[in-house]
Amino acid sequence: MQTAQALFSVIFKRKDVTSEQLIRYELACSIALEAQNLPEKSVVRSVDVAHILSELNVDEETLVATLVSDENLVNIYTSEMIQERFGEATAELVAGIRKLNHFKEFDVNRRSDDVQNERLRQMLLAMTSDIRIMIVKLAYRVARLRHLKYEDPDICHQIASETELIFSPLANRLGIAQLKWELEDLSFRYLHEKKYKEIASQLNVKRVEREAYISRTMETLSQLLSTHDIEAKISGRPKHIYSIWKKMQRKNLPMEELYDLRAIRIYVDTVKDCYEVLGLIHSRWSYVKQEFDDYIATPKENGYQSIHTVIIGPEGHTVEIQIRTPEMHYNSEYGIAAHWRYKEGEKSKRFDQRLEKSISNVRQLLENSSDPEVFKEISTELQSQNIFVMTPENEIITLRQGATPLDFAYSIHTKLGHRCRGAKVNGRIQPLSTSLKTGDKVEILTIKNGQPSRNWLNPNLGYLTSSSARNKVKNWFNKQNKEENIQTGEAIYHREMKRLHGESIQLSQLLNRFKYNDSESFFEDIGKSRINERQLTSAIQRLLKPQKKLNDQQKTFSFKTKDATDYAEQNIVYVIGAVHLKTHLAPCCKPKLEDDVVGYVTRGRGITVHRRDCANILNLTYDELQRLIEVSWSKAQAEQPDYQASLHIVAFDRKGLLRDVMNTLAQLNINLIDSNTHTNLQERTVDMNLTLEIDSQVVLGDILDYIERIQNIESAAISKHSDVH
């Protein structure tokens, strides 16, 4: 287990830390130590994450904020206290990290895809608000994967899947190789355990032989460079299992035929030296042309720079060689994490514009869609490579690999994309679905009042590859077709309600479930597929399940509000001048024991008891007034003791639900004798069985009226116990 003391010892030995920074680090470590000595609330502690971040050489503010953001400290150190000790900027960063900690990870008991997807979507939105929070979350994910070994298999699989789909590509896009490799290898281990062990075993079999060959080749290279007076550091390059597997998949080759199982890195002082070393190596050995990449001249999207080449080396074996400067290597290992440290103290901490654009695209995808497919789009966005094309004025435009002239038009301006009707590529008219290449010069042909085509959104036609461009086209159609979307959405709603026999479900229940204030917006989003049909169907089915369950239980928990016979038998109402007359309470005014009442003689149904101020009584005709008869509440009933009843409630679970039920019962002067609740985590519902002691003057039906007004209550049933106390 990592400790705050050990971390401070590491920081203390760093030569680039000032005395003032040491004081802040010491205070942060002492606070983290408090959390360390408390019972664990989370599998991963903040000090575990801080150790990983310290290896990335992150800036002081990020490391301090991470140390003091442990879940155990939330109620001990408030935002105000953090600000007082470390300043406003650190307090804001702590608030962002704590917000992220608030998101619960995969719950094995809540397998609903909608719930899990929305959790991941909201978490990613929170992450992309600040680049430093993204770095902290990536470090947290590494620590979480390290602790997965003894977890439930379903949890392992879900966390590993999310890591492979989103977090590994995100680490790659940020250029943090140290985190990327570990995220990839650990997630691969849990998703493909058999293949992981197989590759690891194959690597181990010839490890000694391979390392001996690498050592001999490094010595040969050292002598070659020394002869030409080039100072260089040469090392073997570690191989990562996930990387090997991906190359095996991509090239459809067995592991032993991969070029780069034997890999070497050469570090030289300058870019000029990099190319000089490359020339010496290529003059000494032949190389595989298709495996040559110059990322110094054309850096990767994440800023990565290096020269890669594969030679047919000594003894006829292929060897991958990477040539770079120490600065290039530092940036490739620590990426944007190192950038923050260099920029510390500057007012504006902006990283590379291309990276900002990529993260911005991710944010737009998350904000504009709740469809599960959005995560695949994000993964593609984070992993794609760039091409560089030119406008007619020779301005360079950066696009995703595979981009089309239409993507190009939308990247320049939304209106240019909408008005686009053709394109010239290198002076020749080409289809709008043409894949562009680096160096192409593109001219967009437009019409004055042009508008997008729905065909552009068809992925099979290949007009658009950029998620940003697709969103611009979607937004245009959404604005143009609001009324049409509402009608389409309403039709889908009625069709699904009819198909699923959802007549018992109120529209308001669905609005509440999807958090809409009005039906128009709800139907519009169904029509626009922001709420897809699968999500709508799932919501209807969940609302139907508790109702079906309640109907099945009506045999045990039936509504036993007193009807006319009950009141006659119990002598609740006394008819002056007569006995044993059939009476029942009027449903219009629902008279209670304390009300002043009057009887109305009906034809064939006995006497209906109304309140004297009942609107129906006050509006009687002269002839109808002759049917009124004096009645009063039975004195015997008023003197009866309290009795017990069972109340059964089915509700959608939420915070404060039980408290609201208890408060309602207290307001009615009803005592709770016993309670038994059962929560269905998968359906997010709760069953409550309550035993109540009720005053004899309280009518059971009135209790239901009040209970059913409580938010999230789906149904309620009450029955009086046969034994009277």
Return the structure tokens found at 36: 């360390």
Residue 56 lies in a domain: yes
Instruction: For residue 127, give both structure tokens.
Output: 């992450």
Q: What is the CATH number of the domain that holds 702?
A: 3.30.70.260
Same structural domain, 653 and 605: no
Question: Are both 461 and 530 inside the same structural domain?
Answer: no
530, 553, 576 - which closes a domain: 553
Residue 629 in domain: yes
184/223 Cα distance (integer angstroms): 36
Q: Looking at 553, 578, 610, which one is the last position of a domain?
A: 553
53 within some domain: yes
Examine the domain organization and report whether 601 and 519 are in the same domain: no
Domain residue limits at 651? 643-720
pLDDT of residue 346: 39
My answer on whether 493 and 437 are in the same domain is: no
- 422 and 392 in a common domain: yes
610 belongs to a structural domain: yes
Mean pLDDT by 10 residues, the chain (725 residues): 71 75 85 75 79 84 88 83 89 85 57 55 66 86 88 86 85 83 92 90 82 91 93 87 86 78 91 94 92 87 86 89 92 66 40 56 56 57 70 84 92 92 91 88 89 84 86 82 83 85 85 86 84 79 63 39 39 49 78 79 77 80 72 56 79 76 76 78 80 68 76 80 52
The single-letter DSSP state of residue 63 is: H
178, 199, 220 — which closes off a domain? 199
pTM of the model: 0.51
Q: Are residues 8 and 74 in the same domain?
A: yes
Residue 70's pLDDT is 84
Structure-token pair, residue 523: 């139907």
Cross-strand partners of 442: 425
Which residues have CB under 8 Å from 78's CB, separation 6+? none
- pLDDT given at position 634: 61
Say if CB 49 and CB 66 are below 8 A apart.
yes
Tell me what pLDDT residue 365 has: 55
Query: Using CA atoms, how far apart are residues 702 and 699, in angstroms rounded to an integer?
Result: 5
pLDDT score at 216: 92
Residue 92: CATH number of its domain: 1.10.3210.10
Burial class (CB in 10 A: 0-12, 13-18, 19+), 353: exposed
Domain match, 9 and 140 both:
yes
The number of folded domains in the chain is 6
CB neighbours (10 Å) of residue 318? 17
Q: Is residue 369 part of a domain?
A: no
Location of structure tokens 């509504």 = 559
Contacts of 157 by beta carbon, 8 Å cutoff, 6+ apart: 190, 191
* DSSP per-residue letters across 240-309: -HHHHHHHHHHHT--GGG-GGGSEEEEE-SSHHHHHHHHHHHHHHS-B-GGG-EETTTS--TT----EEE
